[in-house]
Amino acid sequence: MSDLPESFDEAFLVSERSEWLRRTFPTLLDADLPPEVEPFSFVPASGLEEVASAVRVGPGGLLVDIACGRGGPGMWVARRIGATLCGVDSSPVAVASAARRRDAFGLGASARFVVGDLTGTGLDAGVADAVMCVDAFQFTEDRDLAARELRRVLRPGGRLVLTCWEARTPGDADVVERFATLRCGEVLRAAGFADVDVAERPAWEQRRRAVYEAALGTDPSDDPGLTLMQAEARTALAEMPRIKRVLATATNPE
Ligand SMILES: C[S@@+](CC[C@H](N)C(=O)[O-])C[C@H]1O[C@@H](n2cnc3c(N)ncnc32)[C@H](O)[C@@H]1O
């Protein structure tokens, strides 16, 4: 049996039981991350600062965090810029956990979380002043539909900020399919986004490598989250030289 969970619901249930995932992992990723963030992703504190700046939302604006997971990165950004927040995720376990964690950020009713899909969020068209999507776009089964959905929920002029990975060589057979065929710039332009920029962030990737190496260097324990990370590390370290870490930004022109 694989050590990897079969669904994100299962992975988030593991995370609830894992001291290593909630406490040790964020510190290994970046000691500057506030403890309440508890990310389920690989964006360091400087990266969240970049997201907060790139969304270009002022106090009171609505930030939508699509594929928000347990909500930490989105709540950190919303608190930083004074925005209201709507987090969307396909995992009911993650959405329930995010809602429970609002008080840790002092956000209360200014943050809400709903179950929805990257390809169909259930949100009204044009509601969002900005959309962020952290380390999740690769999981959708229909990238074109998902990109159109990200644009649909944005108001005219609204900004999209997305973090992901892409193969260095498109179609690379030694890279998992979800990265091998993903070209963020192409899919966002095809969905009608303007000002599309895709920038590599190698320093973030060095931090991911450090997490994996630390996990593999730790004796196996009873912690299910550590076991999960060790399994991921074995695959991910091998393909890391073949993929690049990217931050994509774009604007909904109309
Ligand atoms: C690596 S986690 C990132 C979570 C969160 N953004 C963070 O930074 O902590 C990927 C997330 O994508 C969500 N996800 C995967 N496929 C999805 C889909 N088709 N629609 C919505 N969310 C999805 C998962 O449930 C999970 O929460």
The token duo for 79 is 């608190």
Q: Give the whole-angstrom CA distance, residue 214 versus residue 197.
A: 33
Q: Is 130 within the bounds of a domain?
A: yes
Amino acid identity at 150: L
Write down the H helix ranges in 38-183.
45-54, 72-81, 92-100, 143-152, 177-180
pLDDT in the model for residue 156: 98
Which domain, by its residues, includes 59?
Answer: 8-251
Q: Establish whether residue 38 lines the binding site of ligand 1, counting it when its CB lies within 6 angstroms of any ligand atom.
A: no
- Point out the ligand 1 atom lying closest to the alpha carbon of residue 134: 6
Q: Is residue 91 lining ligand 1, measured as CB closer than 6 Å?
A: yes
Specify if 1 maps to a domain: no
CATH number for 25: 3.40.50.150
The answer to whether residue 2 is domain-embedded is no
Q: Are 20 and 229 in contact (CB under 8 A)?
A: yes
**Atom 13 of ligand 1, nearest CA residue:** 67
Between CA 243 and CA 200 the distance in angstroms is 10
Q: Would you state the structure tokens that stand for residue 78, as one six-digit string?
A: 């919303």
Query: Sheet containing 84-89: which strands, arranged edge to edge?
Result: 111-115, 84-89, 62-66, 128-134, 154-167, 243-251, 194-200
Closest C-alpha residue for ligand 1 atom 4? 69
Q: Is residue 3 part of a domain?
A: no
For ligand 1, whether the C-beta of 94 sits within 6 Å is yes
5 Cα: distance to centroid of ligand 1 (angstroms): 14
Residue 44: strand, helix, or coil = coil
Per-residue pLDDT of the chain (254 residues; tens, 9 = 90+): 344 567 999 999 999 999 999 999 999 999 999 999 999 999 999 999 999 999 999 999 999 999 999 999 999 999 999 999 999 999 999 999 999 999 999 999 999 999 999 999 999 999 999 999 999 999 999 999 999 999 999 999 999 999 999 999 999 999 999 999 999 999 999 999 999 999 999 999 999 999 999 999 999 788 999 999 999 999 999 999 999 999 999 999 97
Residue with the nearest Cα to atom 8 of ligand 1? 41
DSSP 88: E
Count of domains in the chain? 1
User: Is the entire prediction scored with pTM above 0.75?
Assistant: yes
In a domain, 137, yes or no: yes
Residue 125 forms part of a structural domain: yes
Residue 184 lies in a domain: yes
Residue 211 in any domain: the answer is yes
